C-alpha cells in the first residue's frame, strides 16, 4: 500500500540512484565504444581448426592490440594468445577485397578465405571471388593500402 511516507522515501532516493547510475552508464559506454569486437564476435581460431565461422562466447574473451576477440573455447583462446599473428584476420578484419581496391569497408565474417596461412574476410561473396582469382596480387595491394587506411591504434 502506497502512503505519503512511501512516496517521500522514493522521491528522496531518486537523486541518489541517479547520481550512482550516471557514472556507471558512462563507464559502460566508454568501455564498449573504446573496445571494438573483432569479427562481430566470431572465433578467429575456428576458421583454421573447424574450417567454419564459429561464434565466440563472452566467457572466452581476450583483448589483443586494443581489439576484443571472442573464442568458442578456452583452448582456442589459448592458441590465439600463443600466436596471434597466425590467427588474427588480415587488415583488422576489414574486407580484404575492398582494401585491395583502396577502400576500408566492414566485412561479413561468414564470408572468408584462408590463403597462404592467413585469414581474410569479405563484405560479400563477389568480393571473396574477385580476391580469390589473384590472391597474391590482391593481398599485396591490400597490405599497401592498409598502411594508410588502418584505423589509429591498429
List pLDDT tens digits, range 35-50: 899 999 999 999 999 9
d(CA 112, CA 96): 9
Q: Where are the domains of the chain?
A: 35-85, 89-149
List pLDDT tens digits, range 137-153: 999 999 999 999 988 76
Confidence (pTM): 0.77
Neighbours of 101 (CB within 10 A): 16
Q: What is the mean pLDDT of the chain?
A: 85
List pLDDT tens digits, range 12-23: 444 544 444 444
Task: Determine the Cα angle at 124 with ends 111 and 74, to 5°.
Answer: 25
Q: Which residue has the cell 577502400?
A: 103
Does 81 have pLDDT greater than 50?
A: yes
Amino acid at each position: 500500500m502506497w502512503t505519503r511516507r512511501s512516496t517521500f522515501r522514493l522521491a528522496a532516493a531518486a537523486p541518489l540512484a541517479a547520481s550512482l547510475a550516471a557514472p556507471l552508464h558512462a563507464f559502460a559506454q566508454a568501455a564498449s565504444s573504446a573496445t571494438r569486437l573483432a569479427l562481430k564476435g566470431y572465433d578467429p581460431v575456428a576458421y583454421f581448426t573447424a574450417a567454419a565461422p564459429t561464434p565466440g562466447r563472452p566467457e572466452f574473451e581476450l583483448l589483443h592490440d586494443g581489439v576484443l576477440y571472442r573464442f568458442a573455447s578456452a583452448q582456442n583462446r589459448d592458441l590465439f594468445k600463443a600466436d596471434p599473428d597466425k590467427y588474427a584476420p588480415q587488415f583488422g578484419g576489414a574486407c580484404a577485397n575492398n582494401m585491395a581496391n583502396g577502400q576500408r569497408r566492414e566485412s561479413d565474417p561468414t564470408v572468408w578465405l584462408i590463403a597462404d596461412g592467413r585469414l581474410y574476410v569479405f563484405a560479400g561473396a563477389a568480393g571473396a571471388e574477385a580476391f580469390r582469382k589473384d590472391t597474391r596480387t590482391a593481398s599485396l595491394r591490400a597490405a599497401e593500402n592498409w598502411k594508410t587506411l588502418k584505423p589509429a591504434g591498429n
